[in-house]
């Protein structure tokens, strides 16, 4: 695999014996800026979910992220053997727009995962949520590699216009109408909108008449959604929680075995102001093990915008169920909290989260951990918003010492 690093203009002198003259010819050597040589016999590959700071929203492309990633890593580490192939750019949900969230694959001569993580953490513009060694890099999806310049392709019922843009129908948006806007906190699963109880229309939009709600609710299964802060201070909490997760799930299900899928959402805003997250899950609890082995914890910023991220957690993995359990593990207040406001027209993050929990009939449980040396500040809205949300959604709020996480998981959260 050949990797290049710059664009140079060289002069080459040619002598001709026939004419006794010299010719100086410019030779243009074109090299791309984001793919560099990897030293050593065989390169190593890693699947990576992370974020990159500093690319304007209207300039985000796969190539732009790859190029800046290589430039920033080379500058900070003085190494030329770490390159990125981006396979997907992900949404940052309108929060901290300067963070470009990506899923891709790193090629490098670094054989040790911990060493690679340390190197990438030293780059102030990069934040990592997930790093996993892989044997090879899969082919990049072809729909991301090529875009037709002749005629724009509009998704769904979008109409191509002469100016090479799309006229999108209701409940869709994006340059190519590729984003489906499910209403009333509905979830797009790639084929259709999965609607909360009581909504049955194509995009979960309001209808004049709705069926009796008893006929539109599936009580046979639910999801277990786990939201975890990926701050370094939460590593002890995570290991304690993981060790007791199987016991907790056994107690939750009792004899019903009604948990249809498991969703994990890890999130952090780093101390260098880079927002990143990782979403994964599966139908079996064992599906989480590989995810847990590959998570990356980072030094956090003082303020963590948790509320909007918690709202997204149940809906970012396909197959969400109503009446699900949403467990939130944090050790700091919500940086995006505002003062209590009874006017829903204010549309605060707290009100949006409250609405989504109620419309899906989910149970929201906050587990806020602390230490005697670093107790959580309960005096302001950053903490009080947890109490208000637990109270308004019939959820729970636990403020516990970090050493009590095993007992909370195995003896309290395990209750069906």
Which CATH number does the domain housing residue 338 bear? 3.40.50.410
| Residue 231 pLDDT greater than 90, yes or no | yes
CA dist., res. 331 & res. 325, Å (int)? 20
**Same domain, yes or no: 124 and 1:** yes
More confident residue, 333 or 58: 333
Q: Say which residues have a Cβ less than 8 Å from residue 177's Cβ, sequence separation at least 6.
A: 154, 155, 156, 157, 158, 166, 168, 169
Looking at residue 317, what is its pLDDT?
74
Q: Shortest CA distance to 380 belongs to which of 331, 339, 346?
A: 339
**Same domain, yes or no: 67 and 163:** no
Angle, CA of 368, 372 and 376, to the nearest 5°? 40
Per-residue pLDDT reduced to its tens digit, 95-129: 666 789 999 999 999 999 999 999 999 999 999 99
Per-residue pLDDT reduced to its tens digit, 383-393: 999 999 999 99
CA dist., res. 333 & res. 377, Å (int)? 8
pLDDT cut 70: percent of the chain above it? 82
CA distances from 183 to 171, 186, 216, 326, 366 (A): 8, 5, 17, 21, 26
More confident residue, 314 or 2: 314
The residue among 110, 141, 172 that closes a domain is 141
CA dist., res. 111 & res. 92, Å (int)? 31
Is 20 part of a structural domain of the chain? yes
Strand-pair category, 363-370 with 396-401: parallel
> What six digits make up the tokens of 414?
């395990």
Domain span at 113: 1-141
**Same domain, yes or no: 331 and 349:** yes
Per-residue pLDDT reduced to its tens digit, 280-335: 989 999 989 889 999 999 999 999 999 999 998 888 776 778 889 999 999 999 99
* Cβ contact 46:113 at 8 Å: yes
**Same domain, yes or no: 234 and 212:** no
**Same domain, yes or no: 38 and 160:** no
Per-residue pLDDT reduced to its tens digit, 24-48: 444 433 333 444 445 555 899 999 9
More confident residue, 207 or 22: 207
CA dist., res. 384 & res. 346, Å (int)? 18
Is 134 part of a structural domain of the chain? yes
Average predicted confidence (pLDDT) for the chain: 84
Banded pLDDT at 142 (limits 50, 70, 90): low
| Residue 405 pLDDT greater than 90, yes or no | yes
Instruction: Report the Cα–Cα distance between both ends of the chain, in Å, rounded.
Output: 54
Per-residue pLDDT reduced to its tens digit, 61-99: 899 999 999 999 999 999 999 999 999 988 766 566 678
Is 75 part of a structural domain of the chain? yes
| Residue 21 pLDDT greater than 60, yes or no | no
| Residue 337 pLDDT greater than 80, yes or no | yes
Looking at residue 43, what is its pLDDT?
94
**Same domain, yes or no: 101 and 58:** yes
The residue among 118, 141, 164 that closes a domain is 141
Is 148 part of a structural domain of the chain? no
Q: Structurally, how many domains does the chain consist of?
A: 3
* Cβ contact 38:108 at 8 Å: yes
pTM score, whole prediction? 0.79
CA dist., res. 391 & res. 364, Å (int)? 10
The residue among 92, 109, 141 that closes a domain is 141
The alpha carbon of residue 112 and the mean position of all alpha carbons in its chain are separated, in whole angstroms, by: 24
Q: What is the CATH number of the domain that holds 54?
A: 3.30.70
**Same domain, yes or no: 19 and 158:** no
* Cβ contact 360:322 at 8 Å: yes
CA dist., res. 291 & res. 298, Å (int)? 16
Containing H/E element for 397?
strand 396-401
């Amino acid at each position: 695999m050949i990797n290049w690093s710059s664009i140079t203009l060289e002069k080459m002198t040619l002598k001709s014996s026939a004419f006794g003259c010299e010719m100086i010819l410019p030779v243009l050597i074109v090299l791309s800026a984001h793919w560099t040589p990897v030293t050593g016999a065989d390169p190593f590959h890693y699947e990576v979910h992370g974020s990159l700071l500093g690319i304007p929203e209207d300039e985000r492309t796969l190539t732009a992220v790859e190029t800046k990633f290589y430039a920033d890593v080379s500058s900070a580490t003085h190494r030329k053997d770490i390159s990125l192939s981006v396979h997907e750019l992900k949404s940052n949900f309108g929060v901290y727009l300067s963070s470009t969230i990506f899923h891709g694959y790193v090629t490098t001569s670094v054989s040790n995962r911990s060493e690679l993580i340390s190197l990438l953490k030293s780059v102030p513009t990069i934040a990592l949520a997930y790093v996993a060694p892989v044997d090879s890099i899969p082919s990049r999806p072809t729909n991301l590699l090529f875009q037709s310049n002749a005629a724009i392709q509009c998704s769904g019922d979008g109409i191509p216009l002469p100016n090479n843009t799309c006229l999108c129908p209701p409940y869709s948006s994006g340059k190519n109408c590729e984003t489906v806007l499910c209403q009333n906190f509905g979830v797009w699963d790639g084929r259709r909108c999965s609607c909360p109880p009581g909504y049955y229309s194509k995009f979960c939009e309001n209808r004049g008449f709705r069926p009796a709600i008893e006929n539109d609710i599936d009580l046979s299964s639910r999801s277990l959604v786990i939201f975890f802060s990926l701050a370094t201070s939460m590593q002890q909490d995570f290991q304690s929680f993981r060790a007791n997760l199987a016991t907790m799930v056994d107690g939750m299900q009792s004899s019903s075995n009604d948990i249809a899928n498991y969703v994990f959402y890890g999130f952090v805003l780093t101390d260098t102001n880079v927002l990143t997250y990782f979403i994964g899950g599966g139908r079996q609890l064992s599906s989480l093990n590989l995810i847990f082995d590959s998570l990356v914890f980072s030094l956090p910023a003082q303020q963590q915008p948790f509320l909007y991220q918690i709202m997204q957690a149940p809906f970012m993995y396909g197959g969400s169920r109503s009446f699900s359990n949403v467990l939130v593990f944090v050790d700091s207040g919500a940086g995006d909290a505002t003062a209590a406001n009874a006017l829903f027209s204010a549309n605060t993050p707290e009100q949006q989260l409250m609405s989504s929990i109620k419309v899906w009939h989910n149970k929201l449980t906050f587990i806020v951990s602390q230490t005697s040396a670093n107790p959580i500040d309960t005096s302001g809205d950053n903490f009080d918003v947890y109490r208000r949300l637990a109270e308004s959604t019939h959820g729970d709020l636990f403020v516990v010492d970090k050493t009590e996480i095993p007992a909370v998981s195995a003896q309290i959260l395990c209750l069906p």
